[in-house]
């Protein structure tokens, strides 16, 4: 127990949420990767790879939550670095599902957009913490100067990630006290640009959109979501290429019932192309039921509540905004994944943090948790109770040792006096 207390510092609730999510992830990813396992010589390869990323992320958390939050502004250096990688990705990156999101470096593949997200959150939190030294207009302009280029660089290959990062940064600016009028103008301008883009995609013929790698995919998703392109033939529901993913996700959710079919007994994992990633929530509901789906939802809700509590207990502005940014990024992405799985949102390709199978996404999600735990420990003073008790005990023991030493000195002096008195008595 003492070893666990020394190893796991910071907010215990955050630790419980993290461990619960990775446990659910290990079980459900192992079940959902059945289609990948059939293609491998060793059926343990998919889950072994995922487990290795989780283990590496866990080690990062153990390191990060021992690092004081005062060192985290140094992560801003990732901003220009990720911008350069995002610029190079369309030309040097690997194409997956008609998108260049991955880039290889020294034998490893990663998504530069994930580093762009982390650096943007740290950048926005740092500038918001300096509002007292600069005007609101200056802070707002500098934030836009760093945030908008990253979002624009992510946008062509990963629209949903760019939109999510933009929303989280705007929420941070709103919480940080940036005037609502400035935010409203920025959001309004972006919404107008989005509507114009959507209209152009719908109107322009497909043959003219093909040179733009992701444009045809965007158009299909917009049209499919707006018009619900399922084809009905009497009372028969027709599954076609346009509604294939959403249809099988709905079937998985419908089959789940209250307590599900239990892990390993789901059927739709064999039909959903991204059952272990984009549609992991549908598989969770099929195998763990509505109860399991609500538990996962509850974990993310509690995470956001706990992050808010940590932020309130922070005396400094930087850790306050940074912990809120990390929490918002995790929770907004999780809610987006859930909304897609249940048909409330167009298909976006956003994985569920810590639960979906992934590499860069999983590791960076662990980094966010490590930052949150570090701030809870060094910024909010949560989770250091054992250390404080040990320090108090050491102080008490030291004071007691000093008292005992003084008493020993007094006893020695008294013994010397008694010895002198005895000598005098003997002479007499």
User: Would you say the C-alpha torsion 13, 17, 22, 24 has a positive or negative sign?
Assistant: positive
- Residue 103 β-bridge partners: 110
Q: Which residues contact 391 (CB under 8 A, 6 or more apart)?
A: none
Q: Which residues contact 138 (CB under 8 A, 6 or more apart)?
A: none
Q: Which residue has the higher pLDDT, 77 or 428?
A: 77
Look up residue 141 and give its two tokens. Answer: 């302009």
Q: What is the mean pLDDT of residues 270-282?
A: 82
Between helix 180-203 and helix 215-227 the angle, nearest 10°, is 100
Confidence (pLDDT) at 426? 59
pLDDT band at 32 (very low <50, low <70, confident <90, very high): confident
**What is the residue whose two structure tokens read 């994930």?**
114
Q: What is the DSSP code string of 325-343? A: HHHHHHHHHHHHHHHHHTT
pLDDT band at 392 (very low <50, low <70, confident <90, very high): very low
**Angstrom distances, CA of residue 212 to CA of 97, 159, 295, 357:** 14, 13, 41, 28
Q: What is the pLDDT of residues 403-417, one digit of tens each?
A: 566 666 656 666 665
pLDDT band at 302 (very low <50, low <70, confident <90, very high): very high
Q: Which residues contact 8 (CB under 8 A, 6 or more apart)?
A: 15
Q: What is the pLDDT of residues 229-243, one digit of tens each?
A: 444 445 566 676 667
In the chain, pLDDT over 70 holds for what percent of residues? 75
Confidence (pLDDT) at 193? 87
Within 13 Å and on the Cβ side, how many CA atoms surround 124? 31
Residue pair 22/58 in contact by the 8 Å Cβ criterion: yes
Provide the phi-psi class of 346: left if phi over 0, else alpha when psi is between -120 and 50, else beta.
beta
How confident is the prediction for the chain on average, in pLDDT?
81
Give the Cα separation of 37 and 276 in Å (integer): 12
Q: Which uninterrupted H or E stretch holds 110?
A: strand 108-110
pLDDT band at 245 (very low <50, low <70, confident <90, very high): confident
Alpha helices by DSSP H, 93-179:
112-128, 136-154, 159-175
Give the Cα separation of 130 and 122 in Å (integer): 13
Confidence (pLDDT) at 18? 95
Q: What is the mean pLDDT of residues 122-132?
A: 92
Residue pair 367/295 in contact by the 8 Å Cβ criterion: no
Give the Cα separation of 49 and 363 in Å (integer): 12
**CA distance from start to end of the chain:** 66
Confidence (pLDDT) at 394? 53
């Amino acid at each position: 127990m003492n070893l666990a207390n020394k190893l796991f510092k910071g907010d215990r609730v955050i630790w419980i949420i993290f461990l619960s999510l990775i446990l659910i992830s290990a079980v459900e990813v192992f079940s959902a990767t059945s289609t990948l396992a059939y293609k491998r010589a060793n059926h343990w390869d998919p889950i072994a790879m995922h487990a290795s990323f989780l283990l590496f992320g866990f080690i990062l958390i153990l390191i990060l939550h021992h690092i004081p939050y005062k060192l985290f502004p140094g992560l801003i250096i990732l901003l220009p670095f990720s911008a350069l990688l995002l610029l190079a990705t369309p030309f040097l990156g690997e194409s997956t599902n008609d998108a260049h999101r991955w880039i290889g470096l020294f034998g490893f593949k990663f998504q530069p957009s994930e580093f762009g997200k982390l650096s943007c959150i740290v950048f926005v939190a740092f500038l918001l913490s300096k509002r007292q030294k600069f005007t609101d207009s200056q802070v707002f302009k500098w934030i836009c100067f760093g945030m908008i280029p990253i979002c624009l660089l992510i946008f062509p290959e990963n629209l949903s990630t760019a939109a999510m990062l933009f929303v989280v940064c705007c929420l941070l600016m709103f919480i940080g006290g940036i005037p609502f009028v400035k935010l409203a103008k920025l959001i309004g301008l972006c919404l107008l640009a989005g509507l114009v883009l959507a209209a152009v995609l719908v109107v322009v013929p497909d043959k003219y959109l093909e040179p733009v790698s992701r444009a045809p995919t965007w158009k299909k998703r917009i049209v499919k979501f707006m018009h619900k392109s399922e084809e009905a033939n009497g009372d028969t529901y027709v599954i076609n290429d346009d509604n294939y993913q959403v249809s099988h996700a709905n079937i998985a959710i419908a089959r789940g019932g209250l307590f599900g079919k239990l892990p390993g007994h789901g059927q739709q994992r064999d039909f959903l192309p991204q059952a272990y990633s984009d549609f992991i929530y549908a598989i969770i509901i099929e195998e763990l039921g509505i109860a399991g789906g609500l538990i996962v939802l509850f974990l993310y809700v509690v995470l956001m509540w706990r992050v808010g509590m940590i932020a309130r207990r922070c005396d400094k502005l930087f850790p306050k905004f940074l912990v809120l940014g990390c929490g918002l990024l995790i929770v907004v992405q999780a809610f987006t994944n859930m909304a897609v799985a249940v048909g409330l949102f167009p298909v976006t390709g956003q994985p569920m943090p810590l639960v979906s199978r992934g590499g860069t996404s999983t590791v960076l999600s662990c980094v966010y948790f490590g930052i949150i735990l570090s701030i809870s420990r060094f910024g909010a003073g949560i989770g250091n109770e054992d250390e404080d008790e040990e320090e108090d005990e050491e102080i008490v023991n030291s004071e007691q040792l000093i008292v005992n030493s003084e008493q020993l000195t007094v006893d020695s002096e008294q013994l010397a006096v008694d010895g002198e008195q005895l000598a005098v008595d003997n002479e007499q």
